[in-house]
């Protein structure tokens, strides 16, 4: 069952695109933004810099912005671990970029699109899920939905807009079973 607003999310560990693992634990930050994204999707690419700017703008308040590429790298080589690592090496990310090759975290969170944004508070409660803002083509939107949710959360207010429809490319699901370690 996918996470719903108000659910407590569990910490998880995924590999970084450039190597090594990262454990994401919401209790380590006043807010954690988890963005399921992609290297090839025009929607994810249109919103990409706005999400990076959120990461930079809220870093001094301790907000963690974690981006995860969930797509099947066999059918979508532009979303491969190697392609993702190149984007990291080229400085395209203002925070960790992870790969969910077995897609278990993606399924648990219920991500459907790239991008699909989730925000959790320090207790791990899911407080926002949806799009970064209202229009991927309008850079002046500045990831307004993410910013409004973070501003509410950091000010100790209930998040006024807790859910919007995610917009973007569908997650490219694996059709075969992946066995970790083989």
Q: What is the pLDDT of residues 124-169, one digit of tens each?
A: 999 999 999 999 999 999 999 999 999 999 999 999 999 999 999 9
Q: What is the DSSP string of the chain?
A: ----TTPBPPPEEEEBTTSSEEEE-GGGSSEEEEEE--SS-HHHHHHHHHHHHHHHHHGGGT-EEEEEE-S-TTT-GGGSHHHHHHHHHTT--SS-EEE-TT-HHHHHHT--EESEEEEEETT-BEEEEE-SSS-TT-GGGTTHHHHHHHHHHHTT---SS-B----SEEP---SSPP-TT-
Average pLDDT rounded to a whole number, residues 43-54: 98
Could you give the domains of the chain?
12-170 (3.40.30.10)
Q: What is the pLDDT of residue 182?
A: 43
Average pLDDT rounded to a whole number, residues 88-102: 97
In the structure, what pLDDT confidence band is assigned to residue 7 with cuts at 50, 70 and 90? very high
């Amino acid at each position: 069952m996918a996470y719903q607003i108000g659910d407590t999310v569990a910490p998880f560990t995924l590999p970084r695109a450039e190597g090594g693992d990262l454990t994401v634990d919401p209790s380590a930050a006043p807010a954690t933004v988890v963005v399921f994204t992609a290297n090839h999707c025009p929607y994810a690419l249109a919103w990409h810099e706005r999400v990076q700017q959120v990461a930079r703008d809220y870093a001094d308040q301790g907000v963690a912005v974690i981006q995860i590429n969930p797509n099947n790298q066999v059918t979508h080589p532009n979303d491969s671990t190697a392609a993702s690592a190149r984007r990291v090496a080229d400085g395209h990310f203002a925070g960790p970029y992870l790969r969910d090759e077995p897609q278990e975290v993606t399924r648990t969170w219920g991500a459907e699109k790239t991008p699909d944004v989730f925000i959790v508070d320090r207790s791990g409660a899911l407080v926002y899920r949806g799009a970064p803002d209202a229009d991927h083509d309008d850079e002046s939107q500045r990831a307004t939905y993410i910013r409004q949710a973070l501003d509410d959360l950091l000010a100790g207010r209930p998040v006024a807009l807790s859910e919007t429809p995610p917009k973007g490319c569908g997650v490219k699901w694996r059709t075969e079973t992946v066995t970790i370690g083989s």
